[in-house]
Homo-oligomer: A and B are copies of this chain.
Amino acid sequence: MTQPSDIPSKSPKPDGRVARGEITRARVLDAAERCFAATGFDAVSIRQIAAESGVTLGVVGFHGGSKEELFRTVLARRTETLNRLRRESLAQLRANESVTLEDLIDAYITPYLDIASRGDPQWRAYAQLIARLVSDDRYYPEMKDRYDPVALEYLAAIAELYPKADPQLMATALVLTVASMISIVASNLRIDGLSGKPAPRTPLGYRKVLVDFCAGGFRRAIE
């Protein structure tokens, strides 16, 4: 079930063979990703990560460095892929003649819903890890450099549709859009609780209502 990861190995040998420890390293990072996503940085111990990845304690330090370094490595690992997906969605839209606000929001949101809904549990873990961090200003300086550039590209594209809109209102609307998007990934529980029926199983099941909500809110907020 685990599809091949699209994360480049750190140091491939010139002849193409990966270094010996690369498999172990991936196992450690994957386990760390799952643990950090499940309970957050502080609640996870190196020993838990070691047990989860099936290696001994020292190996985690050998491949991951300090706990802080390990955490930042996990954070950084998949951002480029996610950014690329979002940029591709945007480029694809630009090929069309008429682009709506709904198209743009859908293009921004769907890659994230997509990876959170994939079969690959690692991508799901990463999506949940991000959801855990956005509510914490401690990690913003780090996230800023990784995610804001693409967000600004989308803001620029939206600004073409609404040239007279206040930039600050648009930035706020985008932040609210992201918060809505992430809340869907972070918790499926509450929607179940508030409506009688069981909610969709995967984040992708919320794609339509999410785009509706965010686009409707966005348009209303900036006018």
Contact = CB atoms under 8 A, between A and B. Distances in A.
Interface stretch (A23-31, A51-59, A80-88, A192-200): A192-200
A74 interface: no
A135 B135 contact: yes
Interface residues of A, number: 59
Contacts of A135: 131-132, 134-135, 182-183, 186-187
Number of copies: 2
A218 B209 CA distance: 10
Interface in A1-57: 39-43
Interface string A166-179: 01111111111011
Given A197-B168, A220-B216, A137 B182 contact: no
Given A175-B194, A179-B183, 18 more contacts: A40-B136, A131-B135, A134-B183, A135-B182, A137-B187, A140-B189, A144-B190, A148-B190, A148-B194, A167-B197, A168-B197, A176-B184, A179-B180, A209-B221, A212-B220, A213-B218, A215-B220, A217-B218
